[in-house]
Structure 1
Amino acid sequence: MFRKLLRLRKKALSFLSIVIGNGEDSFFWCDPLTLFGSLIVYLGPNGPSRLGVPIDALVSDLITSEGWNLPPAKMESQMDLYAYISQISPSSSSDRAVWKIDGKAQISFSSKRVWNSIRPQNQEVAWFSSVWHKAAIPKHAITTWLFSLNRNPTVDRLFSWGLDVDTTCLLCGLQDESRDHLFFECSFSAEIWNLVTSYLHLNMVPTTWSPSLVWIGTVASPKALSCSETGMAGDNL
């Protein structure tokens, strides 16, 4: 586990920034002092020899009472670096590390904000609130999520993976088993759905997968639920 964490150093380094004070606690080449990240990466392994600054130099080695003491720039990348460094004003305070996300300093570390920053961002699907909500049982929510993406190992998927399986639906024995068939197209499932929707007094219920998820999001409100409960209570009386 520790080795896996060490492999994430480069990714974590993109969130770390050093605020320069007296420069005694920061290495000029290795620490992320500027928006260019680690200077040994930005200027390359030949950077120390070209710039004339030793690889083990501290930032304090390049600071005098009058400000920065840097060798003359010889390359455009060095000039860009100097232009940025010239805006940093050293002080008598100690250097400090700052955790930044999207360029904004964070008061505390948040794994949620870091994950949202590094993960691929996709457009929110219409059925999001129907699957992921506070009242959801995690096991059920994950199963629903997998079915929504058609990732559960139904027989048709097992067959597509090269497994020698009978693709016929075990419930009706008439058609091949798939996600859509199990929930809506199977005669056994259709009978169950008709009984449930009739008992709950629900009309115009979609009988295909994607429209049904969108429909659930429109009816799963406190008002709709209270009406359903009232109707069921009246039937019981």
Structure 2
Amino acid sequence: MNWDPWYFGKSLNDIFSSFKFDKNYVDSYTTSFGWALPTSTPNALREILAGMNFSEQPATALDGSNLPTFSTFYHSYFKHLDEVYWHPFLWHKRFSLRYSSYAWLALVGKLKTADHLRLRGIDVLAGCSFCDSGIECNSHLFFCM
């Protein structure tokens, strides 16, 4: 109760540091009709709280929406990232997620190819399984014939 930014972004503790509420939760001081403040509450604080309307409304909002959807969250979460030029080539709604995921791993060089596995100490054959003529690595798989 004391630490929430109630009054124009300031907490009640910032405004009235000398007064402390006994209970921490707002519902301890409200009824369905309004505020139910203890008699020890200073009049100036009573006036501030009386001016606040706490009618039935959602308590949370995301990007200005009182009824956020997963799409709202998703776009808000990733809005700081720049869109890359290859995005529509990989992440298309008609592509199978399995193929899009492997294409993305190949573009960022994270496919579990023989050269990556050997770097991690896993003993595998280094040759390409498709052509038997080169060492299996990310760039070789793109141009394997």
TM over 0.5: yes
Matched, 1:70 2:45: yes
Counterpart Cα distance in 1 of 2:129 and 2:70: 44
Name the structure 2 match of 1:169.
128
Q: Post-superposition shift, 1:132?
A: 1.4
Q: Deviations over 1:169-219 (max 9, x none)?
A: 2333343211110111x3xx2xxxxxxxxxxxxxxxxxxxxxxxxxxxxxx
Q: Post-superposition shift, 1:50?
A: 4.6
**How many residue pairs were aligned?**
132
Query: Alignment partner for residue 90 of structure 1, among 42, 52, 55?
Result: 52
Counterpart Cα distance in 1 of 2:3 and 2:49: 20
Q: Post-superposition shift, 1:130?
A: 0.7
Name the structure 2 match of 1:16.
none
Name the structure 2 match of 1:100.
61
Q: Deviations over 1:63-122 (max 9, x none)?
A: 9xxxx7429xxxxxxxxxxxxx9598335x7343243223x2x14221122233235842
Q: Is the 1:154–1:177 Cα contact (8 Å) retained in structure 2? A: yes
Counterpart Cα distance in 1 of 2:71 and 2:133: 47
Matched, 1:58 2:58: no
For residues 176-191 of structure 1, the aligned pairs below 5 Å read 176-184=135-143, 186=144, 189=145
Instruction: Give 3-state SS (helix, strand or coil) of 1:142's partner.
Output: helix
Name the structure 1 match of 2:118.
159
Q: Deviations over 1:211-233 (max 9, x none)?
A: xxxxxxxxxxxxxxxxxxxxxxx
Matched, 1:116 2:91: no
Q: Post-superposition shift, 1:136?
A: 1.4
Distance 1:145 1:155, change over 3 A: same
Q: Post-superposition shift, 1:158?
A: 1.2
Distance 1:70 1:154, change over 3 A: same
Instruction: Report which structure shows greater RCO (CA 8 Å, sep ≥6).
Output: 1
Counterpart Cα distance in 2 of 1:97 and 1:35: 19
Matched, 1:125 2:87: no
Q: Is the 1:99–1:109 Cα contact (8 Å) retained in structure 2? A: no
Q: Is the 1:29–1:55 Cα contact (8 Å) retained in structure 2? A: no
Counterpart Cα distance in 2 of 1:110 and 1:61: 35
Counterpart Cα distance in 2 of 1:119 and 1:147: 22
Distance 1:88 1:125, change over 3 A: farther
Counterpart Cα distance in 2 of 1:151 and 1:34: 51
Counterpart Cα distance in 2 of 1:152 and 1:88: 62
Counterpart Cα distance in 1 of 2:74 and 2:7: 23
Structure 1: runs of 5 or more not aligned? 1-27, 72-84, 190-237
Instruction: Give 3-state SS (helix, strand or coil) of 1:96's partner.
Output: coil
Counterpart Cα distance in 1 of 2:66 and 2:84: 32
